Amino acid sequence: MSADTRRFFVDAAERLGKTFLQGFLAAVTLDQFSNAFDPSFKFLLGTAGMAGVYSVLMSLASKQVGAPDSASALPADVDPPQP
């Protein structure tokens, strides 16, 4: 596995983990502050899991647009903003 491919998958895995956690916490928070639905733990995990799947799909699609070693859609020559 090349270094670029490894960096891409590490980046995509980080995004997957963050998105999964955000989806799970969003559903739990909505459950706590709303009586609109009463989700089961299975539903919460399913919601977070689908968010993670979509994150991976977006990372794979972004690889075709952005830098090949990143899961970002930004091109490699974009400099980060200066403080």
Q: Where are the domains of the chain?
A: 3-63
pTM, entire model: 0.76
Q: How far apart are the first and last CA of the chain?
A: 36
Q: Output the furthest CA–CA distance in the chain (Å, rounded).
A: 50
Poorest-pLDDT segment among 8-12, 18-22, 75-79: 75-79
Query: What's the sign of the alpha-carbon dihedral 24, 52, 22, 18?
Result: positive
What is the Cα 16 distance to its own chain's centre?
A: 4
Poorest-pLDDT segment among 29-33, 45-49, 52-56, 64-68: 64-68
Q: How far is it, in rounded angstroms, from Cα 64 to Cα 22?
A: 25
The DSSP letter of residue 81 is: P
Contact call for residues 23 and 47 (beta carbons, < 8 A) = yes
